[in-house]
C-alpha cells in the first residue's frame, strides 16, 4: 500500500494549496493557485483555482495512484449543500485526472490537525474570514462564527480591512486629516494619499474603489493594518485590540472556562509574529491560563493526513509499517512540519495502531 498517494488541499479566500504525498511521507508535488473559496469567489472560479493547484501538484504523478483526497475549505457545509458548487468541484477533480473519492472538511478541522496530536481541543482560525470550533475525537463539535463576510467573521482579515476603510471615511466626513493608517489606506485604494480640496470627492472615490471590487478583497488591507499597528499607530492599534477581543469572544462561546486542552491558532493573521497574533495569545492566555497555545502548520499536509486516515484496509495485504499516517496516534501535527526532505518525522513512543484508521 506504500505506493499509494493521497492528496490534500488547503483552500482559502486568497490562495489554494495542494500536496500529493505517499503514505510513507514523501512529498511528490505541490501546487498553489488563487483563492478557491466558492462563498467568496463563486463556484466556477473557485473550481478553476482548485484545478490549477491540483494540476501543479500532480505534474509528473500518475493520477491512478491517488487513492483518496481531502479538501479543507472555509464554509465546507455551504459547498456540500450547494449542488452546483459540488458539481463544479467534482468536475475539477475529474479534470485533474482523479477518479478516487474525496472528502470536504472545514478549514478549522484541517488547521487543528496540523497543530496538535490531541484528539480534543479548540481551534481558532483568522485569515480572510474567522471561525472558532471545539474538536472532539478529531471531529468538529461546537462552532462559533464562520458566518462569512456579510454576517460575521468578526476580527478577520476582511473585518480589519473594512474597519480601516470605515475609520478613514469617518475622518473624511468630519473634515479631519487622516492619520498614518488612513493615508496608507488611501494610497492602497486610490494610488495617492492626498485628500482632495473637497473631502467629499475623496470619500466618493474611496467608496467607488471599494464597491467596484468583490467585497472580500477588503481583506487585502489587513496586512497593511497589522504593519501600521506594529509602528504603534493609535488607530491601527485600536483595531488590533478590537479584533483580538472579537476573536477571543468567539472562542469563549464554545470553550468552557475551565478547559485546559490545547488551543490551535491558524490562518495567516494568527500564525506569524504580528501584533494581532500577540494580542490574541495574550487574551487567550488570560482566559485559559492552563491551556497550551499552538500554531497551525501545513494545512495541505494535514488534509492529506486526514485523507490517509480514512483509507480502507486492504483485505489481501497487511498494513505497511512505514506509513506515516498510521504512526501518528491522534493528529497530523508531526506530519505537517516541514523538514528538509519529505515530511517524515520521529514518531512518538506509542504502540502503533493496527492499521490505517
Would residue 53 count as lying in a domain?
yes
Predicted pLDDT of residue 325: 55
Write the pLDDT tens digit of every residue in 150-166: 999 999 999 999 999 99
Any idea which of 87-96, 182-191, 342-351 has the lowest mean pLDDT?
342-351
- Residue range 169-190: mean pLDDT, rounded: 96
**How many CB atoms within 10 Å of residue 103?**
14
| Calpha distance 237→111 (Å, rounded) | 27
Number of domains in the chain: 1
Would residue 84 count as lying in a domain?
yes
Predicted pLDDT of residue 37: 75
Would residue 42 count as lying in a domain?
yes
Write the pLDDT tens digit of every residue in 311-323: 876 554 444 544 5
Write the pLDDT tens digit of every residue in 7-26: 999 987 778 999 999 998 89
Would residue 320 count as lying in a domain?
yes
If pLDDT is split at 50, 70 and 90, which confidence band does 117 have? confident
Would residue 302 count as lying in a domain?
yes
**How many CB atoms within 10 Å of residue 109?**
22
**How many CB atoms within 10 Å of residue 237?**
18
Record the pTM.
Answer: 0.75
Find the domain containing 325 and state its range: 5-113+297-336
Q: Which residues contact 75 (CB under 8 A, 6 or more apart)?
A: 37, 38, 39, 106, 129, 146, 148
Instruction: State the alpha helices, DSSP H only, in the chain.
Output: 38-41, 43-58, 76-80, 83-95, 107-115, 157-173, 180-190, 199-211, 222-229, 234-254, 275-287, 299-309, 324-327, 333-336
Give the CATH number, domain containing residue 92.
3.30.420.40
Q: Name the nearest CA neighbour of 207 among 167, 256, 169, 241.
A: 169
If pLDDT is split at 50, 70 and 90, which confidence band does 350 have? very low
Would residue 321 count as lying in a domain?
yes
| Calpha distance 18→55 (Å, rounded) | 9
Predicted pLDDT of residue 163: 98
Would residue 262 count as lying in a domain?
no
Predicted pLDDT of residue 226: 96
Would residue 289 count as lying in a domain?
no
Amino acid at each position: 500500500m506504500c505506493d499509494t498517494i493521497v492528496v490534500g488541499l488547503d483552500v482559502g479566500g486568497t490562495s489554494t494549496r495542494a500536496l500529493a504525498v505517499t503514505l510513507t511521507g514523501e512529498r511528490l508535488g505541490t501546487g498553489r493557485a488563487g483563492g478557491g473559496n466558492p462563498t467568496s469567489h463563486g463556484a466556477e472560479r473557485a473550481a478553476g483555482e482548485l484545478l490549477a493547484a491540483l494540476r501543479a501538484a500532480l505534474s509528473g504523478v500518475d493520477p491512478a495512484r491517488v487513492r483518496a483526497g481531502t479538501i479543507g475549505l472555509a464554509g465546507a457545509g455551504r459547498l456540500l449543500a450547494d449542488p452546483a458548487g459540488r458539481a463544479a468541484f467534482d468536475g475539477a477533480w475529474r479534470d485533474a485526472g482523479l477518479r478516487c473519492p474525496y472528502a470536504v472538511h472545514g478549514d478549522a478541522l484541517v488547521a487543528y490537525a496540523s497543530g496538535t496530536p490531541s484528539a480534543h481541543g479548540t481551534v481558532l482560525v483568522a485569515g480572510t474570514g474567522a471561525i472558532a470550533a471545539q474538536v472532539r475525537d478529531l471531529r468538529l463539535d461546537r462552532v462559533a462564527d464562520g458566518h462569512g463576510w456579510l454576517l460575521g467573521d468578526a476580527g478577520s482579515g476582511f473585518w480589519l480591512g473594512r474597519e480601516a476603510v470605515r475609520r478613514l471615511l469617518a475622518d473624511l466626513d468630519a473634515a479631519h486629516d487622516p492619520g498614518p493608517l488612513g493615508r496608507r489606506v488611501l494610497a492602497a485604494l486610490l494610488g495617492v494619499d492626498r485628500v482632495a480640496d473637497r473631502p467629499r470627492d475623496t470619500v466618493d472615490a474611496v467608496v467607488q474603489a471599494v464597491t467596484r471590487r468583490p467585497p472580500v478583497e477588503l481583506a487585502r488591507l489587513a496586512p497593511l493594518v497589522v504593519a501600521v499597528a506594529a509602528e504603534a499607530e493609535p488607530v491601527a492599534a485600536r483595531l488590533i485590540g478590537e479584533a483580538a477581543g472579537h476573536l477571543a469572544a468567539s472562542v469563549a462561546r464554545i470553550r468552557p472556562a475551565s478547559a485546559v486542552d490545547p488551543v490551535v491558532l491558524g490562518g495567516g493573521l494568527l500564525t506569524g509574529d504580528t501584533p494581532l497574533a500577540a494580542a490574541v495569545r495574550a487574551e487567550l492566555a488570560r482566559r485559559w491560563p492552563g491551556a497550551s497555545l499552538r500554531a497551525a502548520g501545513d494545512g495541505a499536509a494535514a488534509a492529506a493526513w486526514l485523507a490517509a486516515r480514512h483509507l480502507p484496509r486492504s483485505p489481501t495485504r497487511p498494513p505497511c509499517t512505514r506509513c506515516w499516517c498510521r504512526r501518528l496516534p491522534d493528529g497530523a501535527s508531526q506530519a505537517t512540519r516541514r523538514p528538509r526532505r519529505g515530511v517524515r518525522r520521529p514518531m512518538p513512543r506509542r504502540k502503533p495502531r493496527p492499521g490505517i484508521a
